[in-house]
């Protein structure tokens, strides 16, 4: 390499380092990486998934339903099994819960993640208002019902994806008087507008339950959108889901369901009994262990990387496994810390630049 070229490369390297320092310093806070202690790529909190002897001769088909969180979860479980050495086939866009459950019972897939509340109400004829409010009780009832179908419902996740009531931070102060609990909305001297999916109007775990449980008089606005009506002042409140990626934005706040109206919707990975026996206790441990870091906050972050940052679910899942310590990072690769996300800001908040110098 010529002397002039070496000077140019050195200048570029210095410029990149300056950019990195500036990027790290322009925000005072950083969002912890999923499952990690501090920023992304910090100390791993989980043991690396090791290859299981004999796993390479066993095939597992992992399914999912047809929305962001399901795609991400399906990828996490599938990639974890791959890391353990199993041959994995993915069918991650099956459709509704009825289609996914039918595929599971028929053997089209071997397992997929489903919500306890959904399983009870959609598959086992439990009325919505009869779903146990305790997450462990709901899981135990789900487990017993799956058992009758030759399916094992693995232990539930810590997080749940259930209904929540959200508003903008501005409206919380200016209209709701700083209310943080749904019971406090009864003191608001105005009929509040609330948006929800069309079917919400007739559901006891949605509008009907909200009005009955909290004694609220609400003007219901039917819509397929969750956050746009809040942004455009078409509503004061909105039915959202607790793991929505939009909740990572510094624009919205969730009003606490202090009377416990909404039933639990924790994830349980349902797997056919014969396949669970085939993958053995070691394979089961992988499936259970890989979901342990999945808190509500972490799931919001993972969903936001798909819905807001436009990353592919497979990449988001792979990064989660690396950041949580389940899969080793490639030598020399550092996953940068996540920054507080602002609307219109995409990706990690700073670019990663690699310079390769020929000898």
When the pLDDT of each residue in the chain is averaged and rounded to a whole number, the result is 85
How many Cβ atoms from other residues are within 10 Å of residue 347's Cβ?
Answer: 15
Please give the pLDDT value at position 343.
53
- The rounded Cα 68 to chain-centroid distance in angstroms is 8
Say what the pLDDT of residue 96 is.
Answer: 96
Res. 44: pLDDT tops 90: no
The band of 329, judged by pLDDT with boundaries at 50, 70 and 90, is confident
Tens digits of per-residue pLDDT, 274-299?
999 999 999 999 999 999 999 999 99
What is the mean pLDDT of the segment spanning 61-82? Answer: 98
**What does the pLDDT read at residue 33?**
53
| pLDDT of 241 higher than 70 | yes
Span of 33-37, 78-82, 123-127, 195-199 with lowest mean pLDDT = 33-37
Query: What mean pLDDT comes out for the span 189-216?
Result: 93
Position 109 scores a pLDDT of 98
Mean pLDDT of 119-129: 96
**Lowest-confidence segment of 4-8, 101-105, 129-133, 238-242 by average pLDDT:** 4-8
pLDDT score, position 330: 61
The reply to whether 55-160+264-292 and 163-255 are identical in fold is yes
CA separation (Å) from 316 to 11, 74, 140, 188?
34, 11, 30, 41
Confidence at residue 147, expressed as pLDDT on a 0 to 100 scale: 98
Does 237 score more than 80 pLDDT?
yes
Give the pLDDT confidence score for residue 160 in this predicted structure: 97
> What per-residue string of b and e applies to 314-338 under the rule 16 or more CB within 10 Å gives b?
bebbbbbbbbbbbbeeeeeeebbbb
CA angle, residues 46, 48, 49, in degrees to nearest 5: 115
CATH class label, 163-255 = alpha beta
What pLDDT band is residue 210 in, cutting at 50, 70 and 90?
very high
* pLDDT tens digits for range 130-159: 999 999 999 999 999 999 999 999 999 999
pLDDT bracket for residue 341 (50, 70, 90): low
Split at pLDDT 50, 70, 90, the class of 34 is low
| R_g (Cα) of the chain, nearest Å | 23
pLDDT tens, residue by residue, 297-325: 999 999 999 999 999 999 999 999 999 99
∠ CA 303-304-310, nearest 5°, is 100
Tell whether pTM > 0.75.
Answer: yes
Q: How much is the pLDDT for 340? A: 54
Higher-pLDDT residue of 333 and 113 is 113
For 211-235, what is each residue's pLDDT tens digit? Answer: 999 999 999 999 999 999 999 999 9
Superfamily of domain 55-160+264-292: Periplasmic binding protein-like II (3.40.190.10)
Arithmetic mean of pLDDT, 160-177: 97
Alpha-carbon separation of residue 171 from 180, 213, 231 (angstroms) = 12, 23, 10
Identify whether the C-beta of residue 322 lies closer than 8 Å to the C-beta of residue 335: yes
pLDDT of residue 326 exceeding 70: yes
| Distance from C-alpha of 227 to C-alpha of 252, rounded to nearest angstrom | 9
pLDDT given at position 46? 83
Say whether pLDDT at 31 is over 50: no
Q: Give domain limits for the chain.
A: 55-160+264-292, 163-255
Reduce the DSSP state of residue 322 to 3 states and report it: helix
Instruction: Say what percent of the chain tops pLDDT 90.
Output: 76
Rounded Cα distance, 176 and 194, in Å: 13
């Amino acid at each position: 390499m010529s002397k002039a070229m070496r000077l140019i490369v050195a200048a570029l390297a210095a410029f990149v380092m300056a950019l990195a320092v500036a990027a790290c310093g322009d925000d005072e806070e950083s969002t912890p990486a999923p499952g990690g202690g501090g920023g992304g790529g910090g100390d791993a909190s989980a043991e690396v998934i090791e290859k299981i002897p004999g796993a390479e001769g066993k095939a597992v088909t992992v399914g999912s339903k047809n929305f962001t969180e399901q795609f991400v979860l399906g990828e996490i479980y599938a990639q974890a099994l791959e890391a353990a050495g199993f041959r994995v086939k993915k069918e991650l866009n099956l459709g509704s819960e009825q289609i996914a459950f039918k595929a599971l019972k028929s053997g089209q897939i071997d397992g997929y993640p489903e919500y306890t509340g959904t399983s009870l109400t959609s598959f086992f004829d439990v009325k919505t208002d009869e779903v146990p409010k305790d997450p462990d009780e709901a899981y135990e009832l789900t487990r017993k019902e799956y058992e009758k179908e030759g399916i094992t419902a693995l232990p539930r996740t810590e997080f749940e994806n259930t209904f929540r009531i959200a508003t903008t931070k501005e409206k919380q102060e200016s209209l709701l008087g700083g209310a943080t609990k749904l019971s406090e909305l009864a003191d608001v001297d105005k009929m509040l507008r609330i948006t929800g999916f069309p079917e919400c109007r007739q559901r006891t775990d949605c509008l009907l339950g909200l009005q009955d449980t909290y004694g609220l008089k609400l003007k219901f606005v039917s819509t397929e959108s969750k956050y746009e009506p809040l942004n455009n002042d078409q509503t004061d409140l909105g039915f959202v889901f607790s793991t929505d990626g939009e909740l990572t934005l510094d624009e919205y706040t969730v009003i606490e369901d202090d009377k416990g109206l909404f039933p639990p919707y924790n994830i349980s990975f349902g797997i056919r009994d014969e396949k669970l026996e085939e993958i053995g206790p070691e394979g089961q441990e992988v499936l259970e262990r890989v979901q342990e870091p999945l808190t509500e906050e972490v799931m919001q972050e993972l969903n936001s990387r798909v819905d807001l940052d436009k990353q592919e679910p497979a990449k988001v899942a792979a990064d989660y496994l690396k950041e949580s310590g389940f899969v080793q990072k490639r030598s020399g690769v550092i996953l940068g810390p996540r920054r507080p996300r602002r609307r219109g800001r995409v990706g990690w908040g700073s670019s990663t630049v690699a310079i390769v110098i020929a000898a």
